[in-house]
Amino acid sequence: MKILIADDDALSRRLLEKTLERAGYEVTAVENGKQALDQLTKLEGPRLALLDWVMPELDGPEVCRRVRKRSEQTYVYMVLLTSKGTKEETVLGLESGADDYLTKPFNAEELRARLRVGERILLLEDRLVEARENMRFRATHDPLTSLLNRGAVMDLLARELHRSHREKRSTTILLGDVDHFKQVNDTYGHVVGDEVLIEIANRLIGSVRPYDFVGRYGGEEFLVVLNSCDPAFAPGRAEELRRSVSNRAIQTAKGSLNLTMSLGALMSSDWGPRPVEELLHEVDTALYKAKASGRDCLRMAQPMTKTEPEAAPLLQPVRLQR
Q: List, by residue number, the catalytic residues.
A: 220
Q: Would you say 37 or 197 has its CB closer to ligand GH3? A: 197
For 167, half-sphere exposure in the C-beta direction (CA atoms, 13 angstrom radius) is 13
Using CB distances below 5 to 8 A depending on partner kind, what does residue 150 bind out of Mg ion, ligand GH3, none? none
Q: Would you say 18 or 180 has its CB closer to ligand GH3? A: 180
Using CB distances below 5 to 8 A depending on partner kind, what does residue 197 bind out of ligand GH3, Mg ion, none? ligand GH3
Least Cβ distance, residue 182 to Mg ion (angstroms): 7
Q: Would you say 113 or 144 has its CB closer to ligand GH3? A: 144
CA 171, CA 227: separation in Å to the nearest integer? 5
CA 246, CA 240: separation in Å to the nearest integer? 10
CA 18, CA 62: separation in Å to the nearest integer? 26
Name the phi and psi angles at 232, rounded to 5: -65, -25
Using CB distances below 5 to 8 A depending on partner kind, what does residue 151 bind out of ligand GH3, Mg ion, none? none
Using CB distances below 5 to 8 A depending on partner kind, what does residue 193 bind out of Mg ion, ligand GH3, none? ligand GH3
Sites for Mg ion among residues 76-115 (CB under 5 A): none
Q: Which residues on neighbouring strands pair with residue 225, listed in sequence order?
A: 173, 213
Report if residue 181 touches Mg ion, rule: CB under 5 A. yes
Which residues form the interface with ligand GH3 (CB under 6 A)? 144, 177-182, 185, 190, 193-194, 197, 219-220, 291, 295
CB 213 within 8 A of CB 156: yes
Q: What angle do CA 54, 56, 58 make, to 5 degrees?
A: 80
Q: Would you say 161 or 223 has its CB closer to ligand GH3? A: 223
Least Cβ distance, residue 176 to Mg ion (angstroms): 9
DSSP 141: B
Least Cβ distance, residue 266 to ligand GH3 (angstroms): 19
Q: Which residues on neighbouring strands pair with residue 251, listed in sequence order?
A: 256
Report if residue 31 touches Mg ion, rule: CB under 5 A. no
DSSP 53: S
Using CB distances below 5 to 8 A depending on partner kind, what does residue 90 bind out of Mg ion, ligand GH3, none? none
Taking CA atoms, 187 is separated from 180, 190, 201, 246, 254, in Å, by 11, 9, 21, 19, 10
Least Cβ distance, residue 207 to ligand GH3 (angstroms): 20
Report if residue 222 touches Mg ion, rule: CB under 5 A. no
Residue type, 240: E
Which residues 6+ apart lie within 8 Å of 151 measured at CB? 140
CB 55 within 8 A of CB 23: no
Among 31, 160, 177, 212, indicate the residue that binds Mg ion (CB under 5 A): 177
Q: Would you say 93 or 193 has its CB closer to Mg ion? A: 193
Task: Please count the residues of this chain forming the interface with Mg ion, following the rule CB under 5 A.
Answer: 4
Question: Which residues are at the interface with Mg ion (CB under 5 A)?
Answer: 177-178, 181, 220
